[in-house]
Amino acid sequence: MHRTYSSNSEVTDSAAAGTAMATGVKTNNGMISTAPDGKELKTILEAAEEKGKSSGLVATSTITHATPAVFASHVASRSNEADIAPQLLENGVDVLLGGGKQYFPDSLINEAEENGYQYVTNQDELENAKKADKLIGLFAEDGMAPELDRDETDQPSLAEMTESALDVLKKDKDGFFLMVEGSQIDWAGHDNDAAWAMKDSEAFELAVEKAVEFAKKDGNTLVVVAGDHDTGGMSVGGYGKGDANLEVLRNVSATGDFMESKLNADRSN
The single residue of 6, 7, 9, 14 carrying the catalytic annotation is: 14
With residue 218 as reference, give the H or E element that holds it. helix 194-218
Assess contact for 206 and 180: CB atoms under 8 A.
no
Secondary structure (DSSP) of 225-241? ---S---TT--SS-TTS
DSSP assignments along 58-108, one per residue: EEEEETTSHHHHTTT--BS-TT-HHHHHHHHHHTT-SEEEEE-GGGS-HHH
CA geometry: angle 226, 132, 88, nearest 5 deg = 50
b/e for 227-258, b at 16 or more Cβ within 10 A?
A: ebbebeebeeeeeeeeeeeeeeeeebebbbbe
19 half-sphere exposure, CB direction, 13 A CA radius: 28
Q: Is 6 a catalytic residue?
A: no
Q: What is the C-alpha to C-alpha distance for residues 63 and 103, in angstroms, rounded to an integer?
A: 9
Helix or strand or coil: residue 56?
Answer: strand
CA distance 50 to 126: 28
Q: Return the SS3 of 176.
A: strand
DSSP helix/strand/coil, 32: strand
Residues classed as catalytic:
14
